[in-house]
Chains A and B, each alone.
Chain A
Amino acid sequence: MVSRFVNFTSLGRRALPNQWDLLALGIVLGVFIAVAQGSHGVTAPLPAPDAPPMELDYWQLPYYGLRTTLRMFTAIATSLLFTFTYATIAAKSRRAEQVLIPMLDVLQSVPILGFLSFTVSFFLGLFPGSTLGAECAAVFAIFTSQAWNMAFSFYQSLRTVPRDLEEVATGFGLSPWQKFWQLETPFAMPGLIYNTMMSMSGGWFFVVASEAISVGDTTIKLPGIGSWLAVAIDDKNVSAVIAAVLAMLAIILAYDQIIFRPLVAFGQKFRVELTMSQFEEKSWVRDVFLRATALRRVLALPGNLLSNIGLMRMDWRFGKTRLSGPPNRSASIIFDIVWYIVLVALAAWAVWQIVTFVSTTLEWAELGSTIVLTTFTMIRVIALIFIATAFWVPISIWIGLKPSLAEKAQPVAQFLAAFPANVVFPIAVIAILKWSLNPDIWLSFLIVFGTQWYIVFNVIAGASAFPNDLKEASANFGVKGWNWWRNVILPGVFPYYVTGALTASGGSWNAAIVAEYVKWGDDTVQAHGIGAYIAKATAAGDYPRIVLGVAVMSVFVIAFNRLFWRPLFGYAERRLRLM
């Protein structure tokens, strides 16, 4: 169910070999550096775009909210465009797949917030002196938080299109374009919608983080909730922070009701299982649209146009579908060799880029200290996921086993997962400053503040889906207490828990960059960790340190995913799946 939509390159025996991951990691970092270097003399001060200074006028708040929402939707549209192209190429070409998929895996794990400064300098360089550059940078930051898992889900769907449907499409002579819109895209819909929903939830965090950013001497504040918050923090204005929290609540509630509920209800149509599902997703907005006949007639025109475009043949290359004969082996091998040489050259260039870039100003000892700092952050992430697990799993199971309660609690948990936790960070800082608490401990809680909800709603879903006959059997045999937890319910919800914890862990690494270094007016509260290191380097415009920090953190995250989450996930899939 839920776990069906989680993206791993591979869980089976055919795990992609690791040299591809290294290659991908190298290329990703290399390209980032090249972009930053190429776009501008990196250390040169960037011209701040002329924008009116932001004022904390409550009447302006709805307008700011609108701007934030618009940025969000621009990003999701870009992500969809990326998904349809990147994933399709990866699914259709073996050679492209070998590089694109590990790269996606790496990009998923890279803490993109750390790269904010690079992208900002790149886009500002593209549109000097204009806010358009800053807007693009913000949209790009949100895009990077959304696109990867959507592309992954789409790629996986394309690779698992049922064979018989594929044969029908071929048998009726559908052109590749027709097949894409009539078969492949509809088949990928449920996974894509689910992942778009997750991406949107994650995206609010980034929109808040990317609207107001200082890189060295350049400070950019785009009109929006995130900038409002930044100004409120500078002014130490508590009521403005609370207003931002309320505005965010209103926006997310509206987006959930108006966009997502209808979309999820709509997505049910595309499920391939030919059984009626017991749960029917409902949406009042969708019902209104379906019942408003006049509105439907208006929408029918663009609707028909789109479906006709989907039915166009678009075969400019072939007159009719032909089956590929046995491939020309020797030509194919030669092409392979050339392809690998290109890849290795690209990787070598990327590694050289990184080394020269970092080593111009940094010494090797710096590497050691970043590793130590990353270890601190890792301990923090592990400890907090553990605490959140211990706290929330029993509660979520209790909720999930009560259908009426679960029905009410589920949307709340999903809503909280979407809520950008960084909006409430200042409140935590006030508390830490007021009672002079230890930031190394108390800032840590911010890391899971926004991400723990993924655990909650996944476990609730798992407990709700727990089969009734197993419940009855355990009651019948008098399974109680610890025995019941250990042998009945915990294995039952485990696949769902892993899905949630995996998402939470990924989000927590990103949150660390924001959560370990928090400001309140002139006061700064920081913890020891790689997040604070990157955040400080960003504030100082120290690019080599940013690259080093992000690179080390990426390696940790990838290793953590590979060595811990993936085996766990594979185990859950193999052993604990309840049909």
Chain B
Amino acid sequence: MNEIATRTLLEVNGVTQSYSNAGEEARALVLDNVSLRLCQNEIVGLLGRSGCGKSSLLRIVAGLALPKSGAVNYRGAPVTGPVQGVAMVFQSFALFPWLSVLENVELGLRARKVPETEARKRALAAIDLIGLDGFESAYPKELSGGMRQRVGFARALVVQPDILLMDEPFSALDVLTAETLRTDLLDLWVEGRMPIKSILMVTHNIEEAVLMCDRIIVLSSNPGRIAAEIKVGLQHPRNRLDPAFRQLVDQIYATMTQRTDTEKARDGNFPGLGMGMALPRVSTNTFAGMMEEIADEPYSGKADMPALADSLHMEVDDLFPVAETLQLLRFAEMAEGDIALTAAGKRFADADTDTRKALFRDHLVAYVPLAARIKQVLDERPSHQAPASRFREELEDYMSEDYASSTLASVTNWGRYGEVFAYDEQSQMFSLGDLH
């Protein structure tokens, strides 16, 4: 017990967060009672799909946002603002385009009144460590993505933090560059050449998490809760083809597709319920493509998710929203890391365009409450027309403005494909007009 206490760097206790504009009724929770602990000498991964609140959690840990309730303690003191010992690396790099590499790295030091000569010395050392020497006077515009992210790392390391926070640091990079950067970072970590004591990273890439982390915390969505905690005991350097590695990946997929309770699993994977369901932007072509892929050999109607992700070249972040929307529409079922087509899904995969549209129309109206609602309103009105703003405002009672407009855009496109209703972008009106 005593040993754990001394090794603990950071503690998150019962953190809850909700949409700021949801008003009094904290209906749309982003994070629900999340607790975790970060110890010395470990890399912890926060794994989850987009919208599970993992980035919000990271920002709360960084002291960039305050939780609605709960607390974060760093070395025993509560975090109420940015902390000296915590530095962050961003997905978008977040470099200042008007500052050179050296100036970008120096900024954090100069802001803290480190004398100019010392700041210069430390910045050059960090640049050297991260493999950027020669680029000191370059501007971010001139650099490739990989080099930009190296600047991001150097900038974070130069302030000598205890904890390095990483918000999907490799997801904006191409596969090859990302792999090089991961390996370089792991080498520095394993050899103990970085001043940091511990790393907390957010990712949606399961393999990346297994490759880098000592401990993986899987967050479920809507609201974000800790679904599982998985220890990774593999030795560095890890091999992606190692059976133990593959087994862990499969296990995590299974965790992420697990049904929490049978009834909720169908609809409940999206934030909110009924009309208030926040739906992802997925093209109908993607639906069709995925159903065809699952229906075809070698899957014949039932596919292992990691294998499917691999053959479709999709990451978890892209795969899950599609799979879940298919589940919502009752075209597929997810369980135990597998996705299986329902009878309707199989029929869809075999059908011609018109039959597909008819099938899609029936399922859309039956299972997507917003689509049903739009159709109902249009049917009821003598003019068979209704402005989009009417539905958008209704949605905004349940979710943030951004989610409302993307949900409406999704349903609009699905409705157009299923020919449930028409939409005129110029007048922003839904109508039943000129169908059939």
Contacts and interface: CB of A to CB of B under 8 A. Distances in A.
A183 B96 CA distance: 8
A518 to B, nearest CB: 44
A172 B389 CA distance: 41
Contact of A276 (B94, B141, B426): B141
B39 interface: no
Contacts of B112: 172-173
Interface stretch (A25-33, A50-58, A89-97, A266-274): A266-274
A173 B82 contact: yes
Contacts of A469: none
Contact of B107 (A172, A273, A321): A172
Given A164-B90, A172-B112, A311-B110, A272 B81 contact: no
Nearest to B68: A326
Nearest to A13: B389
Contact of A270 (B86, B94, B98): B98
Interface string B75-90: 0000011101011101
Nearest to B94: A164
Interface stretch (B58-66, B177-185, B201-209, B296-304): B58-66
B148 interface: yes
A274 B96 contact: no
A323 B59 contact: no
B408 to A, nearest CB: 13
Query: Which of B82, B91, B139 has the most C-beta atoms of chain A within 10 angstroms of its own C-beta?
Result: B82
Contacts of A274: 93, 95, 97, 140-141, 148
A174 B112 CA distance: 8
Given A320-B81, A322-B80, A323-B66, A165 B141 contact: no
Interface string B216-238: 00000000000000000000000
A472 interface: no
B159 interface: yes
Interface string B382-424: 0000000100000000000000000000000000000000000
A170 interface: yes
A275 interface: yes
Contact of B81 (A13, A270, A271, A321): A321
Contact of A186 (B63, B90, B96, B141): B96
A173 B142 contact: no
Contacts of A178: 111
A328 to B, nearest CB: 15
Interface string A306-330: 0000010100000011110100000
B249 to A, nearest CB: 30
B92 A173 contact: no
A165 B66 CA distance: 18
Interface in A136-195: 162, 164-165, 167-168, 170-175, 178, 182-183, 186, 189
B84 A270 contact: no
Nearest to B62: A171
Nearest to A269: B98
B64 A167 contact: yes
Nearest to B145: A274
Contacts of A311: 110-111
A173 B94 contact: no
Nearest to A277: B141
Query: Which of A171, A274, A320 has the most C-beta atoms of chain B within 10 angstroms of its own C-beta?
Result: A171
A170 B82 contact: yes
Contacts of A320: 81
Contacts of A272: 97
A167 B97 contact: no
Contacts of B110: 311
A178 B110 CA distance: 10
A313 B65 CA distance: 22
B113 interface: yes
A324 to B, nearest CB: 8
B90 A168 contact: yes
B337 interface: no
Query: Which of A172, A182, A189, A273 has the most C-beta atoms of chain B within 10 angstroms of its own C-beta?
Result: A172
Contacts of B81: 320-323
B108 interface: yes
B66 A325 contact: yes
Contacts of A275: 141
Query: Which of B84, B87, B88, B94 has the most C-beta atoms of chain A within 10 angstroms of its own C-beta?
Result: B94
Contacts of B111: 172-175, 178, 182, 311, 313
Interface in B145-170: 148, 155, 159
Interface range, B side: 35 or more
B97 A271 contact: yes
Contact of A171 (B88, B148, B425): B88
B96 A167 contact: no
Interface in A538-579: 575
Contact of B96 (A165, A175, A322, A575): A165
Interface in B18-68: 59, 62-66
Nearest to A311: B110
Contacts of A269: 97-98, 139
A447 to B, nearest CB: 33
Nearest to B148: A274
Given A170-B82, A172-B82, A323 B94 contact: no
Nearest to A320: B81
B159 A167 contact: no
Given A182-B107, A274-B140, A171 B82 contact: yes
B436 to A, nearest CB: 28
A320 B81 CA distance: 8
Contacts of B91: 164
A173 B159 CA distance: 11
Contact of B90 (A167, A313, A321): A167
A313 B96 CA distance: 19
B98 A186 contact: yes
A178 B159 CA distance: 17
B333 to A, nearest CB: 38
Contact of B88 (A167, A273, A321): A167
A170 B65 CA distance: 10
Interface string A272-290: 1111100000000000000
Contact of B94 (A168, A175, A182): A168
A445 B206 CA distance: 69
Contacts of A13: 389
Contacts of A165: 94, 96
B159 A172 contact: yes
Contacts of B140: 274
Nearest to A571: B426
A322 B400 CA distance: 25
Contacts of B84: 173
A171 B96 contact: no
Contacts of A186: 96, 98
Contacts of A168: 88, 90, 94, 96, 155
A13 B140 CA distance: 35
Contacts of A162: 92, 94
Contact of B64 (A170, A273, A325): A170
Contacts of A174: 111
B97 A323 contact: no
Contact of A321 (B65, B82, B92, B98): B82
Nearest to A173: B82
Given A13-B389, A168-B90, A272-B97, 16 more contacts: A162-B94, A167-B62, A168-B88, A168-B96, A170-B64, A172-B82, A173-B111, A178-B111, A183-B96, A270-B98, A274-B141, A275-B141, A276-B141, A276-B142, A311-B111, A321-B81
Shortest 7 CB-CB contacts between residues of A and residues of B: A164-B94, A172-B108, A186-B98, A174-B111, A322-B81, A270-B98, A323-B66
Interface of B: 59, 62-66, 80-82, 84, 86-88, 90-98, 107-108, 110-113, 139-142, 148, 155, 159, 389, 425-426
17 contacts: A164-B91, A164-B92, A167-B90, A168-B90, A170-B82, A171-B63, A172-B107, A172-B112, A173-B82, A186-B98, A269-B98, A276-B141, A311-B111, A313-B111, A320-B81, A321-B81, A325-B66
